[in-house]
Chains A and B, each alone.
Chain A
Amino acid sequence: MLERINKAYKQIARANQTLGRRINVMEVCGTHTVSIFRAGLRDVLPDCLKLLSGPGCPVCVTDQGYIDAVLSLSERDDIIIATYGDMIRVPGRNGSLEQKTNKGNIKIISSAQDALNLAKQMPDKKILFVAVGFETTTPATAVLANEALNEGIKNLFIFSNHKLVIPAMEALLSEKNHRIDAFLCPGHVSVIIGSDAYKPIVEKFKRPCVVSGFEPMQIIIALSEICSQLADGTPAVASLYDAAVTPQGNKTAQKITNESFDIVDGYWRGLGKIAKSTLKLKEKFSSLDAEKQLGIQFIPEEDLSGCRCGEVLCGLIDPVECGLFANSCMPDTPVGPCMVSSEGACAAWYKYARRKRQN
């Protein structure tokens, strides 16, 4: 173990020397952010290696307009909102779903299948499935849509805001003021899309893309690999999570996703409009499409005043640089989504790095 750590330190020093400045590595996935903090890796890595938390928490990147659209639907007596738990505390302009649970029409689900079961159990209600998440989560929605269509379910409506990781990574690198030298690529998204999916980023932007699992030692080895590539000027795709990730990914999941969704332009918190980055149900699922059937007005909105989640998601600032952090924005009273989700960068910084700041 010590040998691997020493090797990582050597590679980090080499990359630092080659670049002649600090190395900035973005961990795209919120689960990595939490794993890195929990293992104390930020404290033991040399100062010349900076870890930036990226847009890998689906709750955090969800546009304010989508959240407000869901909130407005929660006011209707004929609608039951079925949502993954991460979403209920996200503040909109008019409260959060959590504050509306007294009406009994907000149901927290742990699987897309639960939304189908709710539709069967409550035939006189319209079930709205809040379909957010990256490539890991999308295939489950695709299965749900196909089952609901095949079974002739009439009271289930899917409000799709599923996102694609690769266009977001490309958008970040296309920003003039970005400071990303390499990506630590998400583990479970890569299970679905495969490590080859990052090849276009390497080819176009010449940035290392290294997939890692969540064990601290694997993350250290991934950082070592990234720095070795940076030092040698040989950016490439590499995967250290071979136990779960293949170059091609899960073809069955990709197929059902491709057959169920169209890729459209979409809005992201902090990143704005990104071309071909969001998934909407295909025409054959029109009867299940919440936007078409429930008359949803989904208007992209500015982020809440003073909230700098957008800059955090782009790796431009650390959470502690936001004036609201640990002041008016706390885990119990979050202002921005990065403080809501346990995988959000602000929540992770609050939990693991706040004491250090106070000292």
Chain B
Amino acid sequence: MCLAVPAKIIELNGDDAIADCVGNHIQTKTTLVPEVKLGDFILIHAGFAITVLDEEEAKKTWKLLEDMDTFNKTNNKVSG
């Protein structure tokens, strides 16, 4: 439940943001990271940005999510 995903802020209006996570657009509140700017990379948990990340870290996690997705698909095939 404490899962969080990195995303890039592509729209910012007050503390309402739209963030891009590998093509998925996520509605996000930035209330907890008031310093955030358009174009920043953030970590999103349950609809809220909880910290600002650097681009390298965000990309590392995206790769991890991609691997997880591939693994799950493969795993489901094996078990199914």
Note whether A and B form a binding pair.
Answer: yes
In the assembled complex, A341 has its CB within 8 A of some CB on chain B: yes
Among A188-196, A262-270, A280-288, the stretch in contact with B: A188-196
In the assembled complex, A252 has its CB within 8 A of some CB on chain B: yes
Query: Please, what's the 1-or-0 string for B37-80, where 1 marks a CB less than 8 Å from any CB in chain A?
Result: 00000010111101101101100110010001001000100000
Q: How far is B15's CA from A113's CA once the two chains are assembled, in angstroms? A: 12
* Cβ B1 vs Cβ A58 within 8 A: yes
Q: How far is B18's CA from A160's CA once the two chains are assembled, in angstroms? A: 28
* Cβ A191 vs Cβ B4 within 8 A: yes
Q: How far is B31's CA from A38's CA once the two chains are assembled, in angstroms? A: 33
B48 partner residues in chain A, CB cutoff 8 A: 111-112, 139-140, 143
Contacts A133-B46, A243-B53 given; indicate if A215 touches B60 (C-beta within 8 A): yes
Number of interface residues of A (CB under 8 A): 40
In the assembled complex, B8 has its CB within 8 A of some CB on chain A: no
* Cβ B46 vs Cβ A111 within 8 A: yes
Query: Please, what's the 1-or-0 string for B1-16, where 1 marks a CB less than 8 Å from any CB in chain A?
Result: 1111000000000000
Number of interface residues of B (CB under 8 A): 27
B43 touches which of A30, A191, A215 (Cβ 8 Å): A191
In the assembled complex, A343 has its CB within 8 A of some CB on chain B: yes
* Cβ A191 vs Cβ B51 within 8 A: yes
Contacts A215-B60, A215-B64, A253-B32 given; indicate if A134 touches B53 (C-beta within 8 A): no
| B residues neighboring A (CB under 8 Å) | 1-4, 27, 29, 31-34, 43, 45-48, 50-51, 53-54, 56-57, 60-61, 64, 68, 71, 75
A-B contact list, 15 entries, CB within 8 Å: A29-B2, A56-B2, A58-B2, A112-B47, A132-B1, A136-B2, A136-B46, A136-B50, A140-B45, A140-B46, A143-B31, A186-B2, A188-B3, A191-B51, A351-B75
